[in-house]
């Protein structure tokens, strides 16, 4: 029986050898994995996993010209890691799981702070929402003093009158009802498509998975090396703006303009 080290070793060796659509799919799987790890960090209130997964996502921000994230992301990770030295108390607080909001005992359901604030706003909103009051400072202050109190009164009345009869589930919602059935159905459909159209991991050309059109060579190289290009751009950004400081950190960034599948059908002038 193969050990875990043998399995991962073979996977890494395979990743070095594949090309074409197989290489794109390998990179795509890694990108989705990093996104899932980032979500898992919030859901489980894992501070170290949050920073590690965020760092793994940084190259993709540069690869796809996501300027806001590509500029603020490296600075955010660097500042948060520095808390271990500059503010050990805050680091300990976050490391104990205080980076997200947990509302009930169902595991893996914590939400980030922005999400929690939006849910609170939803409870506080009256008919018409915040329309017309954001420009009036005194009205805005009155609203944020009165609205939470009214919200609590209404909730207490509902609890007393048993108006809301829905009982919280002990299981994660994705493990129950239609969510679980949909997951199984999607997996079955995926297997059917792979069986009908052939395993893309066994093909060397880079082609559109829907139309099967083979992409031009210049586009193909960008698609296959997306993660590598993004990492190189990230390293240059950090070197120029955070280490050497040869470029002002806030200066505008130039587009990398790498071509991907969306550009495969575009007319190119030579």
Average confidence (pLDDT) over 160-172: 68
90 or 116, which is more confident? 90
> 171: helix, coil or strand?
coil
Q: Predicted confidence band at 269 (pLDDT cuts at 50, 70, 90)?
A: very low
Q: Find residue 207's DSSP bridge partners.
A: 214
Q: CB within 8 A of 70, min separation 6: which ones?
A: 58, 61, 62, 233, 234, 237, 253
Q: How far apart are CA 124 and CA 153, in angstroms?
A: 11
Average confidence (pLDDT) over 27-43: 92
**Which of 19, 65, 75, 33 lies closest to 206 in space, CA to CA?**
19
Residue in the block written with tokens 């500029």: 71
Residue 268 has pLDDT above 50, yes or no: no
Q: Give the torsion sign (CA, 35, 38, 40, 43).
A: negative
The pLDDT of residue 267 = 45
Q: Predicted confidence band at 62 (pLDDT cuts at 50, 70, 90)?
A: very high
Residue 3 has pLDDT above 80, yes or no: no
The pLDDT of residue 50 = 96
Average confidence (pLDDT) over 12-30: 83
Span 169-209, pLDDT tens digits: 666 666 676 777 888 888 888 888 788 878 888 888 888 87
Q: How far apart are CA 81 and CA 213, in angstroms?
A: 45
């Amino acid at each position: 029986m193969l050990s875990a080290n043998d399995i991962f070793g073979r996977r890494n060796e395979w990743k070095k050898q594949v090309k074409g659509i197989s290489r794109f799919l390998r990179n795509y799987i890694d990108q989705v994995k990093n996104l899932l790890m980032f979500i898992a960090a919030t859901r489980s209130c894992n501070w170290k996993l949050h920073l590690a997964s965020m760092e793994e996502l940084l190259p993709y921000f540069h690869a796809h010209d996501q300027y806001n994230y590509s500029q603020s992301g490296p600075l955010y990770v660097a500042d948060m890691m520095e808390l271990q030295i500059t503010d050990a108390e805050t680091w300990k607080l976050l490391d104990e799981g205080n980076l997200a909001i947990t509302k009930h005992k169902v595991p893996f359901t914590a939400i980030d702070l922005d999400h929690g604030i939006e849910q609170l706003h939803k409870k506080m909103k009256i008919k018409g929402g915040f329309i017309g009051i954001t420009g009036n400072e005194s009205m805005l202050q009155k609203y944020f003093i009165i609205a939470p109190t009214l919200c609590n009164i209404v909730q207490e009345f509902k609890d007393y009158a048993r108006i809301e009869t829905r009982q919280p589930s002990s299981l994660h919602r994705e493990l129950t009802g239609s969510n679980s059935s949909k997951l199984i159905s999607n997996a079955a459909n995926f297997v059917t498509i792979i069986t009908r159209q052939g395993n893309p991991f066994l093909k060397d050309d880079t082609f559109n998975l829907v139309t099967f059109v083979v992409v031009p060579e210049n586009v193909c190289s960008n698609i296959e090396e997306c993660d590598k290009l993004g990492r190189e751009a990230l390293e240059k950004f950090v070197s120029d703006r955070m280490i050497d400081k040869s470029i002002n950190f806030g200066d505008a960034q130039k587009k990398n303009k790498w071509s991907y599948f969306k550009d495969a059908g575009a007319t190119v002038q030579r």
